[in-house]
Amino acid sequence: MRLPFGTPKMGAVAEAGAGVSVGRPRRRMLTERQRAERKLAWMLCAPAVAIMALVAVYPILYAIYLSFLRYDLRFPDDRHWIGFANYTSILSSTGLWWQAFGVTVVITVVSVTIELVLGFAVAFVMHRTLFTRGLVRTAVLIPYGIVTVVAAFSWQYAWTPGTGYLVSWFGNSTSAPLTHQWSAIAIIILAEVWKTTPFMALLLLAGLSLVPDELLRAAKVDGATAWQRFIRVIVPVMKPAILVALLFRTLDAFRIFDNIYILTQGSQNTRSVSILNYDQLFTALNLGVGSAMSVLIFIAVALIAFTFIKGFGAAAPGQDLR
Amino acid sequence: MRSTPRQKLGWGIANVVVLVIAAVPVLWLVSLSFKDPSTLTDGSFYPKKWTFENYRGIFDQPLFTHALVNSIGIAIIATVLGVTFGAMAAYAVARLEFGGKQLLIASALLIAMFPPIALVNPMFNLWRQIGLFDTWPGLIIPYMTFSLPLAIYTLSAFFREIPWDLERAAALDGATPLQAFRSVIVPLAAPGIFTTAILVFLYCWSDFVFAISLTSTNNARTVPAAIAFFTGASQFQQPTGSIAAAAVVITIPVAIVVLLFQRRIVAGLTAGAVKG
């Protein structure tokens, strides 16, 4: 699943409420007004808060609780508290978890890196194109909007021996790239990059439009090469937009599921942590271990977000970008 | 900056490259869906023998037709509910001052960050206990929940841009509060709400994780999940043609939305990411 929002509203909070109080009413009146405002605000937020609490917060807490149980649906009666045993067995074994974790990290790092480079390229193309901008924008929104499963099937058939056009162009008659670990991972990355580069490109394009033309012209007059202009002028100005784009894509890529499920079902050691988690829950039916994996994935995702926000100074959603 | 003719040519070629790369995987599915079963494994990019058989086939299968109805119904209901509740909360976030606002935003972020796969297991248990497993509400509820952070963030970005003073100006001109709201605020807020609805709809339309985990029959299974269960006409036949046709069918709404509303989608995606 994609991260369910494009980009957060940066700054809505910082400036919210400005323009509400008019003139300078007496202090007491302001207090009454504030009270009424608070009441209205909570009434408006109540449905959203109730839904999020019931549907998300409760299952999150329940998953944490389950992760401390021995709870295997094949042995439903043997269900008891075992502390951190699920975690230690996942983390200490040299088996599935670390394998899946490694695959996930490789897919995340490689695809986000490629997306950043290609995203810049596409953003520049859209930025410099005047007449056909609408056309290009429509074209890049197709991969963004298309159902991930649909796109994954397209790639799967393209690489299926006998059926696919790509395998007959790039492979030989006996090759079946989806049945070998590294070529399968490369195809998964290809599918991921194709699907999500547009998102990256559109965010970068928005940042690119903020780079003042005069600055670039001045740098050119001073003899800066195109590369120098890019590194010294464009990138610093765009840094906030780049970091936000990287943050959201990294969080999203780390949770990769749909593409792998369709392309390989996780065979040939191409499982991501989400696929492994799904297998634990629905194939192995081990709810305790599965829940512990869920919590570990969440911790990893939270660490990524924390690193970006604290380490690199990416704007946290709800903060002003500048 | 002015471009030389050579640069223009370069950008033109780059344009074409972007267009081709974006389009080819989609065209490939369209091509597969029109291929006659006898030519499905010829490896050609274009159908050598055209047929509508694949489309006729899937519309004869309840597995697909039910799934299509489920997809449309569930996505629309979840979008309407998610955007309505999201808009209410976003109005409060953008315009009102209240304690707990930061907490609301932080928890919305937490939910958006949470790996959906991790919610699937507790929900699967809970849904079976309370009878929501394999029902429409069983999918509408998680979609609505995961749409809320998106709706709140995007809409509060749009709402903050609205010149709310116009409401007061209309009131000074003698409009009743309802009139002012209807004829001034609603038209200004509508584009943002519409844009958010598009993004939320695209999310609900393409979800796969919840759809395969929380359904088991035609009752509530949506198309992305149903495709994964397609089988060929006989057990020796690959379902390639049917899958391609079904994939094309559920891409049509996406293509229409993108063609009609590309400007809005871009505005929604980048709302607030950068201030321009």
Q: What is the nearest CA distance from A119 to chain B, expressed in angstroms?
A: 11
**Residues in chain B within 8 Å Cβ distance of A278:** 117, 120, 209, 213
**Token pair for residue B30?**
């369209």
Q: Does A233 touch chain B (CB under 8 A)?
A: no
SS3 A3: coil
* Paired strand residues for B50: B35
pTM (2 d.p.):
0.88
Q: Does A158 touch chain B (CB under 8 A)?
A: yes
d(C-alpha B171, C-alpha B106), whole Å: 36
Q: What is the nearest CA distance from A252 to chain B, expressed in angstroms?
A: 8
Q: Does B85 touch chain A (CB under 8 A)?
A: yes
pLDDT tens-digit readout, A37-63: 888 888 999 999 999 888 888 888 888
Domain extent, residue A247, equals: 85-311
Q: Which band of pLDDT confidence, cut at 50, 70 and 90, is reported for residue B126?
A: confident
A107 pLDDT higher than 90: yes
Q: Which band of pLDDT confidence, cut at 50, 70 and 90, is reported for residue A94?
A: confident
Residue A17, domain member (yes or no): no
| Interchain contact, B165 vs A298, CB within 8 Å | no
Residue A44, domain member (yes or no): no
A190 pLDDT higher than 90: yes
d(C-alpha B179, C-alpha B166), whole Å: 12
d(C-alpha A280, C-alpha A291), whole Å: 9
Q: Which band of pLDDT confidence, cut at 50, 70 and 90, is reported for residue B209?
A: very high
Q: What is the nearest CA distance from B97 to chain A, expressed in angstroms?
A: 5
Q: Among B139, B228, B113, B208, which residue's Cα sits nearest to residue A298?
A: B113
Where is mean pLDDT largest: A15-24, A42-51, A123-132, A187-196?
Answer: A187-196
Residue A250, domain member (yes or no): yes
Q: Does A170 touch chain B (CB under 8 A)?
A: no
| Interchain contact, A251 vs B250, CB within 8 Å | no
- Specify the higher pLDDT residue, A208 or B236: A208
Question: How much is the average pLDDT of B197-210?
Answer: 93
Residue A287, domain member (yes or no): yes
Where would I find the H helices in chain A?
Answer: 12-15, 27-52, 58-66, 85-92, 96-128, 133-145, 148-158, 165-170, 181-208, 213-221, 226-229, 235-254, 258-263, 273-282, 287-306
Q: Does B204 touch chain A (CB under 8 A)?
A: no
User: Of the candidates B85, B114, B153, which has its C-beta nearest A317's C-beta?
Assistant: B153
3 state SS for chain B: CCCCHHHHHHHHHHHHHHHHHHHHHHHHHHHHHHECHHHCCCCCCCCCCECCHHHHHHHHCHHHHHHHHHHHHHHHHHHHHHHHHHHHHHHHHHHCCCCCHHHHHHHHHHHHHCCHHHHHHHHHHHHHHHCCCCCHHHHHHHHHHHHHHHHHHHHHHHHHHCCCHHHHHHHHCCCCHHHHHHHHHHHHHHHHHHHHHHHHHHHHHHCCHHHHHCCCCCCCCCHHHHHCCCCCCCCCCCCHHHHHHHHHHHHHHHHHHHHHHHHHHHHHHHCCCCCC
pLDDT tens-digit readout, B65-119: 999 999 999 999 999 999 999 999 998 988 888 888 888 888 888 788 778 888 8
Q: Does A296 touch chain B (CB under 8 A)?
A: no
Q: Does A230 touch chain B (CB under 8 A)?
A: no
| Interchain contact, B15 vs A129, CB within 8 Å | yes
The dotted CATH code for B61-270 is 1.10.3720.10
Partner A, chain B 46-75, Cβ-Cβ below 8 Å: none
A321 pLDDT higher than 70: no
Q: Does B261 touch chain A (CB under 8 A)?
A: no
Question: How much is the average pLDDT of B158-184?
Answer: 83
- In A, minimum Cα distance to B109 occurs at A317
pLDDT tens-digit readout, B18-47: 999 999 999 999 999 999 888 887 878 888
- Look at A139-153, A277-291, A295-309, B228-242 and tell me which has the smallest mean pLDDT: B228-242
Best A60, A129, A150, A248 member to test B by mutation, with max B CBs in 10 Å, is: A150
Where exactly are the structural domains of chain B? Answer: 1-51, 61-270
SS3 A81: strand
A67 pLDDT higher than 80: yes
**Residues in chain B within 8 Å Cβ distance of A290:** 121
Long-range pairs of A108-114 with CB within 8 A, sequence gap ≥ 24: A108/A250, A108/A253, A108/A254, A108/A256, A110/A189, A111/A189, A111/A192, A111/A193, A111/A196, A111/A253, A112/A246, A112/A249, A112/A250, A112/A253, A114/A189, A114/A193, A114/A197
Give pLDDT, residue A177: 84
Question: What total of structural domains would you count in chain A?
Answer: 1
**Above 0.85 for ipTM, yes or no?**
yes
Residue A50, domain member (yes or no): no
Give pLDDT, residue A317: 52
**Residue A125 amino acid letter:** V
A36, A39, A40, A41 alpha-carbon torsion, rounded to 10°: 120
pLDDT tens-digit readout, A196-218: 999 999 989 888 888 888 999 99
Percent of chain B with pLDDT over 70: 95
Output the average pLDDT for chain A. Answer: 83
Partner B, chain A 67-86, Cβ-Cβ below 8 Å: none
How many other C-beta atoms are found inside a 10 Å radius of the C-beta of residue A143?
23
CA-angle at B261, arms to B255 and B265, nearest 5° = 100
User: Of the candidates B25, B141, B272, which has its C-beta nearest A11's C-beta?
Assistant: B272
Question: How much is the average pLDDT of B175-180?
Answer: 81
CATH of the domain at A302: 1.10.3720.10
